[in-house]
Structure 1
Amino acid sequence: MTEAHDSEGVLMSDGSSGSGPVVIDLFCGAGGLSEGLRQAGFQPRVGVDFDKHAVSTYRHNHPGVPVIEGDVEKVTGEELFRLAGTRDIDLIAGGPSCQGFSTHGKRIQDDPRNFLFKHFVRLVDEVRPKMFLMENVKGMLTYAKGEFRRQIEAAFSEIGYRSDFTQVLAADFGVPQKRHRILFIGTRIDDIELSFPAPTHGEGAGLKPYVTLAEAIGDLPLMEKDYTASKRKYASAPQGPYQVYARSSAPTEVTMHVGRPLSKQAATLAAYIGQGQGLRSAPIEVLPERFKKMRTIANGQLRRDCTTLYYRLDPSKPSYTITCNYKNVASGPFLHPFEDRAISHREAARCQSFPDHYEFLGASFPRQIGNAVPPLLAKAVGVHLIKLLGVGSHRQRYKRVA
């Protein structure tokens, strides 16, 4: 087994074997949650997902971890035990899709994806891990005055798990992105007092400043209209701790850093849009007709909607939420801060806090990257959960080193 030290001096496993607490990752996708939990000291033993492209990515980056590619409805606890090689599971983690409650799309209460959490609950009941961690969109917290949240809490209570929840902002934990999410944690162990990690970054006393977009991607080269090069030289040596983290064990050249020209309409608008500005900064005469109609409200003031469409990212701040549509500047805040193009796959992955050695395979890269849990957010939660589990100070392989 190989070992590496992260930028904070924590000894880390490569995830293929070891003595860390065991985690099973349901709805694992491309592996952002597993990657962060691995960095924290957990040992991923099984992944489950139906997306063949995401599964290919997961297998490539988590060698030796078996992945069930298929419908979670057909997965059983006994199958998970067999693949994990143990019946002593510390954590079941995952983000069952609840896209019907997403604030980035139409909210549809009866979307069948909203009820995948029932299979998460079922497998927690069958496996009986010491704890569970469930990540999801923050819209489920308030939809129908919290009814969906209450259903989740009641379902876990019914199988004997105490639970708690909180909202988190990924930027508060060193991720260069304003990504809001909700976390549920729970346990069947009486001695575990449920709590969540405190933010490490922000504007308050004692906090590190937020990681900005410039700090996240500043060493990646500009494309200068060469959109298709499969590999490019880094623009500079790593500048600052985030770039050091991102390039740890990375190849000597940047991969997945590709783009394409903007459409004629988008290029016309982009010429008027400065850093930290969106569609509403363009003159009304160059706006598409549908936006001219939405320009003002009854009192003549400018409407405040659509402000992040065609938005050019501000390098001095974290990015906005990276969604599955980050290659489409008409859909949100994805204009590169210095060039008239959408951000690249690698730039999006950097905003999600994937290190550069993390390779995405197959197709549908925007879906794989946009749907992922940011690894550094997962790491922060994982470090805290290890403390709750009472193993953090007793595992020699994961102790803090000088």
Structure 2
Amino acid sequence: MDTYSRAPIVIDLFCGAGGLSTGLRQAGMDPRVAVDFDSNAIATYKANHPEAETILGDVSQVSGEQLKRLAGSDDIDLIAGGPSCQGFSTHGKRIQDDPRNFLFKHFVRLVDEVRPKMFLMENVRGMLTYGKGYFKKQIEEAFEEIGYRTAFAQVCAADYGVPQLRHRVLFIGTRVDHIELSFPKPTHGDRKLGLKQYLTVADALGDLPLMKGNFKQEVRSYVSPPQNEFQHYARKGHGNALTMHVSNKLSDQAQRIADFVRQGQGLRSVPPERLPDRFKKMRTIGNGALRRDCTTLYYRLDPQRPSYTITCYYRNVASGPFLHPWEDRSLSHREAARLMSFPDYYRFEGSNFTRQIGNAVPVLMAKAIGLEIVKSLRNAERRPLRYSKVA
């Protein structure tokens, strides 16, 4: 029987709102089971992937047999997911002993129990340098012990048509001897190399209406037909009713700062004498010179460039590069979702939308990775399967 007369079966651990599963499905894969401890994320996942089974709970309590039973198959092609990694994220305090850093051990355990042909694990770039590569070595050794060859790469979401400079590390692995481990080549970047131009904030958001002081209107209309390939993608299968395009009015302090911030500028563009006292301290070091960091606090997005990383704090302009390029306000949920390349039909359920969107895997990056994995699986099916000795 041709192994891939069907779509490759996927189990998504730490699934969050479903960005990874959505991209893998766009690549022709079949997410059958998803696991997460966040009830809001699971509600969103169910709303957008009704055909998949979901487990709401602690991954440490999940077994491989349970996953295979819910998937309806013992022949799983891929286990994918991004174990929580805030303990060594560069956006927060980097704490080596943060228990979230070791959730990958349950990922490894479930790979060992399910024995998929391949795995995919996504993580933050900071884990490569923390402790001189301690975590990277741990991950590679853990998979080697259960009989999986591994490879890793650093990728940027913008290289795959996502309008966002989001850098991540990917680990892939296989127990099948002749499956080649490879990563997708960039499709966007330097046009001199024959690549498409990076998608910009304007490319992503240009058809969305400005709010003009009305920050809470629940449903709005697009201001134009789709103007480019990305906007066509975002609006495919969706009507003219734009949802979740709501935002926050700036605080008085944020407004006083925003008055001085032009597109592509941040806190350092504000005259020091106009800064609140706590920011004056942030502007200088011991010898009185201006600091070189804090460059993206109160940063107004440059419409002619991809956005910076969308985090869980995109509604707080004081925390990073989340000041709207054309209006004095934070990004809306829909704008943040667009910058993560979620289609506009995608429904976010429950609450904590900022966490659901900011923690997601960008959809189009996931699609590019998925296409590469599908290619590896299909190439391997043309040869007799040979597995590593560890069973």
The answer for unaligned runs of 5 or more in structure 2 is 383-391
Query: 1 CA distance for matches of 2:182 and 2:129?
Result: 21
- Structure 2 residue 172 is the aligned partner of structure 1 residue 185: yes
Secondary structure, in 3 states, of the residue corresponding to 1:293?
A: helix
Secondary structure, in 3 states, of the residue corresponding to 1:216?
A: helix
- Structure 2 residue 118 is the aligned partner of structure 1 residue 148: no
* Residues 190-240 of structure 1: CA deviation (Å, up to 9, x unaligned): 001211111100014110000000000100000001111110010110000
Secondary structure, in 3 states, of the residue corresponding to 1:185?
A: strand
Match of 2:290 in 1: 302
The answer as to whether partners of 2:179 and 2:380 remain within 8 angstroms in 1 is: no
Match of 2:377 among 381, 385, 389: 389
- Structure 2 residue 333 is the aligned partner of structure 1 residue 345: yes
Query: 2 CA distance for matches of 1:330 and 1:391?
Result: 49
- Structure 2 residue 65 is the aligned partner of structure 1 residue 78: yes
1:303 CA drift (Å): 1.0
Match of 1:222 in 2: 210
1:291 CA drift (Å): 1.6
Match of 1:237 in 2: 225
Secondary structure, in 3 states, of the residue corresponding to 2:220?
A: strand
Q: Which letter does structure 2 place at the counterpart of 1:381?
A: I
Match of 1:361 in 2: 349
For residues 47-62 of structure 1, what are the structure 2 equivalents within 5 Å? Answer: 47-62=34-49
Q: Which moved more, 1:383-392 or 1:329-338?
A: 383-392
1:75 CA drift (Å): 0.3
For residues 38-49 of structure 1, what are the structure 2 equivalents within 5 Å? Answer: 38-49=25-36
Match of 2:239 in 1: 251
Match of 2:55 in 1: 68
Match of 1:29 in 2: 16
The answer for unaligned runs of 5 or more in structure 1 is 1-17, 395-402
The answer as to whether partners of 1:251 and 1:356 remain within 8 angstroms in 2 is: no
1:297 CA drift (Å): 3.1
Please report the TM-score for the alignment, with normalisation by the length of structure 1. 0.92
1:19 CA drift (Å): 2.4
Give percent identity, aligned residues only. Answer: 69
**Residue 328 and residue 351 in structure 1: after superposition, are their counterparts in 2 closer, same or farther (change >3 A)?**
same
1:392 CA drift (Å): 9.9
Number of matched residues?
377
Secondary structure, in 3 states, of the residue corresponding to 1:166?
A: strand
Query: 1 CA distance for matches of 2:73 and 2:168?
Result: 31
Match of 1:113 in 2: 100
1:114 CA drift (Å): 0.4
The answer as to whether partners of 1:386 and 1:392 remain within 8 angstroms in 2 is: no
Please report the TM-score for the alignment, with normalisation by the length of structure 2. 0.95
Give the 4+ runs in structure 1 shifted more than 2 A.
Answer: 294-301, 391-394
